[in-house]
Amino acid sequence: MSGAAEDLSIGQVAERTGLSVHTLRFYEREGILANAVRRGAGGRRLYSEDDVEWLRLCVILRASGMPLPAIRAYTDLVRQGAGTERERLDLLRRHREDVIAQIDRLTRCLDLITFKVGVYEDHLDRGPAEHVCGASSPPERTPRNQRAASAQ
Amino acid sequence: MSGAAEDLSIGQVAERTGLSVHTLRFYEREGILANAVRRGAGGRRLYSEDDVEWLRLCVILRASGMPLPAIRAYTDLVRQGAGTERERLDLLRRHREDVIAQIDRLTRCLDLITFKVGVYEDHLDRGPAEHVCGASSPPERTPRNQRAASAQ
DNA sequence: GCTTGCCCTAGAGCCGACTCTAGAACCTAG
DNA sequence: CTAGGTTCTAGAGTCGGCTCTAGGGCAAGC
């Protein structure tokens, strides 16, 4: 499936991955391509659809905060071929946990920020109250009801 | 409430905010303190509990990806005092949207990673299948049932 | 035959956010 | 009196992840 023999230029790959051509070359130097890029006339890089798929995976890993060295480690495992599946799975699982942790952290931040937004909304549509400061923990989840909260 | 007259040293503030003393001085230079730090004997910084609260808020904003210039902007508004509440609210609301967007992105990444983990689990406990590649979109949400998927 | 556009390499530059260094002052305990 | 710990300043260094520059090649179209 999908294994057409269409060769793609670096510019085309940039278009379909959202990465810049600079970044594509940079990733290659960093060892972040599952299979070595072939070269065409004049030394130009030739990419396959598989390369694009691989890069899209890399984009997702990056977007979820995986550092380049970790992506390189994963790439190395893939390049080593069969027998490294267990390690790849472990690596992905660890990253998965990491992403979950990130989401948790962000969600907790979001709660506090939402609380703070609530405090300001109160403050603005019921006239100024006393002073209004730090990150004071959402005391009991009722921004629109109580007046001890910070609005700095 | 809580407004004791206890002065805190930079080291104590570092402890209770989780920031390093270096970072505290750095933030100060960057204009990220709602009220100017007082100085004690020998020019040493004296922080109040309010400063700690403020810094905790900054930590949350940073942890949720707000860049220092935006935090400085917010700090400036706070320093200008009453009358800037609308702007502060807007700034916080924008950040709130941003955090929600981050969580969305991460959640989408998580789905793909989870899918990929599923593919590897399949692959490992039902013996190797064909080749296994990019980020191929979770075709119909059934990792453990279908065998077209990528395991690179 | 010349411009335009895409591509090449090696290496430098940039940005954000810290992080650390050097050299010196002060305070407290032994 | 001295050693250890904390703090001070100004400024340099680090790190991750790009991003760009210089200088050049090649191919297609006017």
Whole-number pLDDT of residue A126: 81
Tokens of A52: 């694009």
- Residues 6 or more apart whose CB falls under 8 angstroms from that of A5 comprise none
Residue B133: strand, helix, or coil = coil
Specify whether the CB–CB gap between A47 and A36 falls below 8 A: no
Show residues of chain A in contact with B57, CB under 8 Å: 112, 116, 134-135, 150, 152
At residue A6 the predicted structure's pLDDT band, cuts being 50, 70 and 90, is confident
Average predicted confidence (pLDDT) for chain A = 88
Our CA-based measurement puts residue A106 at a distance from the nearest CA of chain B, in whole angstroms, of: 6
CA distance B109 to B111: 5
Summarize the confidence of residues A133-148 as an average pLDDT.
55
Residue A63 has pLDDT above 80, yes or no: yes
State which residue has its Cα closest to the C1' atom of C24.
B42
CA distance A107 to B144: 30
Q: Which residues of chain B have pLDDT under 50?
A: 1-4, 141, 145-148
Question: What are the pLDDT digits (tens) for B30-71?
Answer: 999 999 999 998 899 999 999 999 999 999 999 999 999 999
Q: Burial of A106 by CB count in 10 Å (0-12 exposed, 13-18 middle, 19+ buried)?
A: buried
Whole-number pLDDT of residue A24: 98
Average predicted confidence (pLDDT) for chain B = 87
CA distance B120 to B55: 44
What chain A holds in terms of domains, given with CATH numbers, is 10-81 (1.10.1660.10)
Q: Which residue from B minimizes the CA distance to A87? A: B120
At residue A2 the predicted structure's pLDDT band, cuts being 50, 70 and 90, is very low
Whole-number pLDDT of residue B6: 80
Whole-number pLDDT of residue A144: 53
Our CA-based measurement puts residue A22 at a distance from the nearest CA of chain B, in whole angstroms, of: 21
Count CA atoms within 13 Å of residue B123 on its CB side: 25
User: Would you tell me how many other CB atoms lie within 10 Å of the CB of residue B122?
Assistant: 19
Among candidate residues A64, A4, A77, A61, the one with its CA nearest the CA of residue A27: A61
